[in-house]
Structure 1
Amino acid sequence: MPTAPLPTADAMLHSDFATLPDLIAAHARERRDKTALIHGDDTLDYATLDARMDRFAARLQADGVAQGAAIAIVGPVSIAYAVVFLGALRAACVPTPIAPSSTPEQIAAMIADCGAPVVFADAGIADAVPLADLAAWLAPEGACPAPVTIAPGDPFNIIYSSGTTGTPKGIVQSHAMRWAHIARNETAGFDTAVTMISTPLYSNTTLVSFLPTLAWGGTVVLLGKFDARAFLEAAAAHHATHAMLVPVQYARIMAVPDFDMFDLSAFRLKTCTSAPFSAALKAEVVARWPGLLVEYYGMTEGGGTCLLIANAFPDKLHTVGRPIDGHDIRLIDDDGHEVAPGEMGEVVGRSPAMMTGYHGRSDATSAAEWFDAEGNRYIRHGDVGRFDADGFLQLLDRKKDVIISGGFNIYPTDIEGVLNAHPSVADGTVVGVPSAAWGETPVGFYVPAPGGEDAEAIRAYVNARVGKNQRLSALEAVDEMPRNAIGKVLKRELRDRWVAAQGVAA
């Protein structure tokens, strides 16, 4: 009896649900010589990528690794990293990327938390541990894994939170959630994309571009440690069409003195997420860099997503846009009640792309959820915001960063806007620190611009332009603002450093 023909990639992409491993297999059949991955001088076409995924999955199965098991990955960006991630999916296992910048204790804790029976680590990270070579470990050429069945609700990956506010939590994302990320990009042109990946593969920020590019059959260019000039050189050389960058990367790229000399004319779409993106920087990118600039506001846990097409709404650059179709975002007060139109409140969101929960942390999962009167589940975003009359969401601050001083709520972003406007400040932020008199008080940190004024002069400038309750009690210069790999300022680190130096109780 003849075998039914396998579905095409196009048919799967326009169905109700498809898995990424099946899509890559379809691309391997239909465009086998198309380049899937580039990293430096190394390239991998779809046929070879598909075959390596098969060999990886077959070896996992031969070693007795069960479907649904976590596969921990600790290392820098590379083609081998991508093969491990994607090969784990083909075996219906759960890739669990872990930041190599974490301490050994943190890495061990995350591996223990996810229960991974096998760990794939870069030799430079695990140099004290005997390691098997990946190429030698793979199943023989031509090996194929036993077929697996993947349901939409099955776990796709576990992503550990950045840990900027404490111990990282494992965020379980389902195949249905990742399918929603893929399907929503139907008009984004990823089928012919050359996508620049300049953030780590353990970050959800990266995966929301990396995965759709491969799902739609485009080409991914993997970059190493970020360097603005190297990014521009690679983008020009590869005729890049798409990129996902975080705000600090945009700032560094736009500051390259001869930025305008690079040929970026092939760009069609540049996206941004993960950290506050100033209106002035958005405007500069729109003016000087070809292609659309789209800002996404959302979170790794899911919830709702807002989208701002910066080119189309030049008067809304201070916002993060409006909720995309099928996403419901609401604002609630401290008692969990929805606020009136125009009032500020905590952001909660609901969409087809929501985490299953935090791995092994039912208490943390419950704390992250909010339910409306009909019992619909929403995820707390942790931000405070306000919708304008046109339905655009303006973020005011992180809820956890709000400073309560003398009974008043102080939003650090208001003070940061003034601080960063001073010509002597290259980069600045504000945190709340303990105060015997007020409970908390604002303290600023800044990276000095060359030849600028001293801290006291800058503090006087800021305090003359903010409200009495917002005045900085101190301002400290730092050589570099501590940030995680996707550009978020580590405010907790600054706060803890200041508290320790002052010898006050936290």
Structure 2
Amino acid sequence: MTAADLLAGDFATLPDLLAAHARERPDKVALADERGTLSYAALDRLAARIAASLQREGVRAGEAVAIVAAPSTDYAAVFMGILYAGAAATPISPSATPAAIAGMIADSGARIVFADAVNAAALSGETLPTRVVFGASFDAWLAPEDARPTPVSIAPEDAFNIIYSSGTTGKPKGIVQSHAMRWQHLSRNSAAGFDEAVTMIATPLYSNTTLVSFLPTLGWGGTAVLMGKFDVGGYLALAERHRATHTMLVPVQYQRLMAYPGFDDHDLSSFRFKTSTSAPFHADLKADVLARWPGFLVEYYGMTEGGASCALNCTAHPDKLHTVGQPLPGHEVRLIDDDGNEVAAGEMGEVVGRSPAMMNGYHGRDGATREAEWHDAEGRRFIRHGDVGRFDADGFLILMDRKKDLIISGGFNIYPSDLEAVLAQHPAVADCTVIGVPSADWGETPVGVYVAKGGATDEAETIRQWANERLGRTQRLSALHRADELPRSAIGKVLKRELRERLLGTVA
């Protein structure tokens, strides 16, 4: 069956699509990084060898296989090889602490973990399953050049990947996404031109933000250009050199690019389709991108767990830049109150959504899965988005605030309770909280406030550095303030909004 036939059907797997592209366009570049390129034929052969090697190691269909590494063609090939074996790719954030990474791997049940040299060294003190390190160790582990895996049958409901939503607490949640969910991400991009795309991948491959752009690029037969680490000058030079057509960036990356003095000196006329998601995208920044960067700009609003997704075609609706757009076809958004009842038209409520693209659930955590769900009067399953919003008169969703106190910094989710748990362990801290405040560089940044134990003389900066040594790189506190007491409600809840208002005059 041809790739076109597969893409025109009701369901296809990514391994079948890659194999079809390898037959039909063997020399087309599938992947590029700073070291070189992989054609579709080469990617198919390498993914098949990886899958055969995994099967040799006893990896079964549906089993998790972990990856802890920076983006590279090796990383991408391993991700595809895991899928070829019918297993569940489990990309782990390298920015979490080594102990947290080990905990996520253990939670997934993975018996094999792939790592690059840097992360293998960082994890050397942790008890981990079999490690395969990119480089000589990886080459020696691989099956022979012509090896192919024993064919596996993949059903739509089978696990495609497990993505972890948090990386520092003892019980992070693994979001299980199915092949059917990923097929929805592929099929909904039929008009986005990914078949001839050269897509800049400038965010980590463990992030769903990245995968919703990276996977359609390969599924439709385009080229994915992988950046190991984002920097503005490097991104612009790489995009110009490869004549990039597509990209997915988080808002803070757009902010840094548009503020770069040499931005307008680069030829970006090849761009046709730019997208953004994961964090608030301010209207004035969208307007600047529209004015100075060629190609369509589309903002997506959704969540890794699925639910519903909204899209704002900023190019077509410049008067709606303060919104996140309208629900995609086949996606349904409702707004509910604290009692779980739908609110009246125009009123504000918690966002819940349903669509064909919804997670199977949280890995091994049925209770947490049930807590994330809401059912309508007909018993249909919706996913709680955790945000509060309202629809305008034209059906565009306006986000008002987050229901929970999630901090989004540079496109990454930071949970204050994780940081508070670390900060509270310091012997000089009697009480503490962490809030998100606006940041020119990151969109938001975590700031701590603590109450000192009687007699403690430790300086706030000393405590902040102590905590940051124990936190993941993306979680570190940008500031720590000492207070006589924390403002609390009558039932003892810290009034974070009040505390944030107090600090906004002094924290940048």
Following superposition, the deviation at residue 381 of structure 1 comes to: 0.2
The residue matched to 1:156 in structure 2 has which SS? strand
Closer, same or farther in 2 for the Cα pair 1:166/1:65, shift >3 Å?
closer
Does 1:179 find its partner at 2:174?
no
Q: Tell me the equivalent position of 2:101.
A: 107
Query: Which of 373, 376, 383 matches 1:372?
Result: 376
1:502 aligned to 2:502? no
Q: Does 1:45 align with 2:26?
A: no
Q: CA deviation at 1:124?
A: 1.4
RMSD, aligned α-carbons: 2.8
Specify the code of the residue in structure 1 equivalent to 2:45: A
Partner of 1:87 in structure 2? 81
Are the aligned partners of 1:240 and 1:266 in contact in 2 as well (CA < 8 Å)?
yes
Distance 1:381 1:105 in 2: 29
Residue aligning to 1:116: 110
Match of 2:214 among 210, 221, 228: 210
Q: Of the candidates 334, 350, 355, which is equivalent to residue 330 of structure 1?
A: 334
2:348 maps to which residue? 344
What pairs up with 1:267-306 in 2 under 5 angstroms? 267-306=271-310
Aligned match for 1:63, one of 52, 57, 61: 57
Q: CA deviation at 1:63?
A: 1.4
Counterpart secondary structure, 2:346: coil
Work out the CA distance in 2 between the residues paired with 1:447 and 1:395: 19
Segments of structure 2 that go 5 or more residues without pairing to the other structure are 126-130, 409-413, 421-431, 442-463, 487-493, 495-508
- Paired residue type of 1:49: L
Which residue does 2:490 correspond to in 1? Answer: none
What is the TM-score when the length of structure 1 is the normalising length?
A: 0.80
Residue identity opposite 1:52 in structure 2: L
* Structure 1: stretches of 5+ with no match in the other structure: 1-6, 403-411, 414-428, 435-439, 450-477
Q: Which of 326, 349, 354 is the matching residue for 2:358?
A: 354
Taking a change above 3 Å as real, the CA distance of residues 256 and 32 of structure 1, as seen in their structure-2 partners, is: same
Q: Which residue is 1:409 aligned to?
A: none
Is the contact between residue 173 and residue 362 of structure 2 (CA under 8 Å) also seen in structure 1? Answer: yes
> How far is 1:162 from its partner?
4.0
1:61 positional shift: 0.9
Q: How many residues align?
A: 431
TM-score of the superposed pair, with normalisation by structure 2: 0.80
**Aligned equivalent of 1:73, options 55, 67, 77:** 67
| Matched AA of 1:364 | A
CA separation of 1:208 and 1:364: change in aligned 2, threshold 3 A: same
Secondary structure in 1 aligned to 2:119? Answer: coil
8 Å Cα contact 1:100-1:125 kept in structure 2: yes
C-alpha distance in 1, partners of 2:383/2:300?
17
Distance 1:386 1:447, change over 3 A: closer
How far, CA to CA, are the matches of 2:345 and 2:358 in structure 1? 25
What corresponds to 2:319 in structure 1? 315
SS in 2 for 1:224: coil
Q: Is the 8 A contact 2:100 2:167 kept in 1?
A: no
1:60–1:91 CA contact under 8 A, matched in 2: yes
Provide the rounded CA distance (Å) in 2 between the counterparts of 1:167 and 1:493.
22
Q: Report if aligned partners of 2:405, 2:435 keep a CA contact under 8 Å in 1.
A: no
C-alpha displacement of 1:401: 2.8
Relative distance call for 1:299 and 1:165 in structure 2 (3 A) is farther
1:126 partner SS: helix
| Counterpart position of 1:229 | 233
Kindly indicate whether the alpha-carbon contact (under 8 Å) linking 1:382 and 1:399 is maintained by their aligned counterparts in 2: yes
The secondary structure found in structure 1 opposite 2:367 is: helix
How far apart, CA to CA, are the structure 2 residues paired with 1:315 and 1:165? 42
Residue 505 of structure 2 corresponds to which residue in structure 1?
Answer: none
Asked if structure 1 preserves the Cα contact closer than 8 Å seen for 2:112 and 2:132, the reply is no
- SS of the residue 1:113 aligns to: helix
Distance in 1 (alpha carbons) for counterparts of 2:149 and 2:113 = 20
**Matched residue SS, 2:143:** coil
CA-to-partner distance for each residue in 1:426-461, whole Å, 9 max, x for gaps?
Answer: xxx9x99x9xxxxx9998846589xxxxxxxxxxxx
Question: Could you tell me whether the CA contact under 8 Å between 1:123 and 1:131 is conserved in 2?
Answer: no
SS at match of 1:172: strand
2:503 is aligned to none
**CA 1:113 to 1:273, structure 2 compared with 1: closer, same or farther past 3 Å?**
same
Distance 1:310 1:160 in 2: 30
3-state DSSP of counterpart to 1:364: helix
Structure 1 counterpart of 2:243: 239
Shift of 1:126: 1.8
Identity %: 63
Report the alpha carbon displacement of residue 168 of structure 1 after superposing the two structures with TM. Answer: 2.9
Post-superposition offset of 1:224: 1.6
SS of the aligned residue for 1:401 comes to: coil
* 2:6 corresponding residue in structure 1: 12
